[in-house]
Amino acid sequence: MKCVLLVAGFATRLYPLTLHTPKPLLEVGGKTILDRLIEKLEEIPSLDEVILVSNGKFFSTFIQWASKCTFSKKLTVLNDGALDNEHRLGAVADLEFAVRKKNMIEDTLVLAGDNLFDFSLKAFVDFFYTKGADCITAHRVEDPEQLRRTGVIIVNSESRVLEFEEKPKHPKSNLAVPPIYLYRSDTLPLLKIYLEEGNNPDAPGNFIPWLLRRKEVYAYLFPGKRYDIGTPESLKEVRRVYEPHT
């Protein structure tokens, strides 16, 4: 199994903090966001490589970080070439870029580099192997405002995803979907078709409703909290939560 970590954003909403530091390398509770994600990835026995997709501006920063990282599995950093926010490829295009560049033919875990969460990725991988199908994660969110800023799904009693809507004005359920997905190896070539059809290359969730029309997708309902770090307020909140207790 491979993991693609999407770290190519420019995090303009966090300027000036992220003018010279990529968002995944901001510190939360004494560790970078990225180091916390890497700790989570250590739990997966079948994982043998993590591929970071960076933009051109921060590529050397991530190379430097990788050279000091003590991760037990292989780390690869790719440069998607974008030098500013206006020319960014978008998350789906970055994922397809990694698949193409690395000739990936393995089941692939996809993570955004600006999300922190409580649950075990190993438990998610176990769920994926049990279902034998593409899987996404979901958790219950009661705040309608928060639901309007994320992907929202409807599932059946077997956890199969029936509907997925990205940033809905009127959410049909309280099941929010963070950018934590597991795609089967035979799904990876579909990314190229999705992009060739002119579909939205940006938010990673845009690929899911398109995929639902072609394949079965299941949702792993995870326990605990998840933190999306996108604004100064959300960064402040996550730092408060992860503050080391003395």
- pLDDT score recorded for residue 150: 87
User: Is residue 35 in a domain?
Assistant: yes
Say if residue 89's pLDDT is above 80.
Answer: yes
Q: Quick check: is 213 in a domain?
A: yes
Residue 167: predicted pLDDT: 87
Give the CATH number, domain containing residue 214.
Answer: 3.90.550.10
CB 83, CB 57: distance < 8 Å: yes
3-state secondary structure of 135: strand
Residue 170 within any structural domain of the chain? no
Residue 116, CB-side half-sphere exposure with 13 Å CA sphere: 24
User: What pTM was estimated for this model as a whole?
Assistant: 0.93
Domain residues for 212? 2-136+176-241
Decide if pLDDT at 22 tops 80. yes
Which one is predicted more confidently, 153 or 203?
Answer: 153
What 3-state class would DSSP assign to 37?
helix
**Dihedral sign for Cα atoms in the order 126, 132, 136, 137:** negative
Where is pLDDT greater, at 14 or 191? 191
For residue 45, the model assigns a pLDDT of 93
219 domain-assigned: yes
What's the domain count of the chain?
1
Task: Retrieve residue 46's tokens.
Answer: 């079948």
Is 246 among the domain residues?
no
Mean pLDDT to the nearest integer, 151-174: 93
Q: Please give the Cα distance from 82 to 200 (Å, whole number).
A: 17
Closest listed residue to residue 188, CA positions, set 108, 89, 79: 108
Q: Is residue 125 part of a domain?
A: yes
171 within some domain: no
User: What pLDDT, on a 0 to 100 scale, did the predictor assign at position 127?
Assistant: 96
- Mean predicted confidence (pLDDT) in 13-18: 88
pLDDT at 245 (0 to 100): 64
Instruction: Provide the token pair at 52.
Output: 């970071």
Distance CA 54, CA 79 (A): 5
The per-residue pLDDT of the chain, averaged, comes to: 93
- Whether the pLDDT of residue 246 is over 90: the answer is no
Domain assignment present for residue 183? The answer is yes
Q: Which residues pair with 154 in a beta bridge?
A: 163
Sign of the torsion formed by the C-alpha atoms of 75, 80, 84 and 89: negative
Q: Flag whether pLDDT at 77 surpasses 60.
A: yes
Model confidence over 121-150: pLDDT tens digits?
A: 999 999 999 999 999 999 999 888 888 888
